[in-house]
Amino acid sequence: MKTQSNIVRISTLAFTLATATAFPAFADGWKAWEGQDQASPRAIYSDTTDQQSALLTCGPNGLLSAMLTVKPTSLPEQLAKNAPYSRTEKASVMIGDSDAVETTVRVIPAIDVIEARSHSVAAKVFNSAVMRVPLKLSVDRTGNIETLLPQPNDAFKAFARTCEKSRAEDNKS
């Protein structure tokens, strides 16, 4: 039931983004991942070097997953490096002043990247950008991370529409 609530919240935010007036563009904002359809991307990332970078992906069923760099750096550059080892760690995730959510994340120490495969956790990353509030992670052995993601732009809104459409189609089946 909690997952359904998160899906409804994300769907509402996606609809709001799709119908809202244009947000001011960030010079280094959200971009469709290389090879993605610009009009309906299933993967976008924040292209900033002064804050942690984030990657949001949308599965065929419309559910989200996310990655976040531990330190301010380019996510595509980090992911291009060899990283044969990963581990799971307990983490606490919150946006703004909301209650923390306890979860398990995958940490890839060689490239300083954290992956959240849980839709509810990835939804917090998404919501952090939409609501323009800090995203805070406390990861057992990795430490504390706090970042302010870029505000939604055209790539972000196209991603939100794509995910919402995928969820609606999945719910019809």
- Given pLDDT bands bounded at 50, 70 and 90, which one contains residue 168? confident
Q: Where are the domains of the chain?
A: 2-172
pLDDT tens digits along 142-154: 999 999 999 999 9
pLDDT tens digits along 37-46: 999 999 999 9
What is the chain written as a DSSP string? -HHHHHHHHHHHHHHHHHHSPPPPPPTT-EEEPTTS-TTS-SEEEE--SSS--EEEEE-TTS-EEEEEESSSS-HHHHHTS-----EEEEEEEEETTSPPEEEEEEEEGGGTEEEE--HHHHHHHHHHHHHT--EEEEETTTEEEEE-PPPP-HHHHHHHHHHHHHHHHHHH-
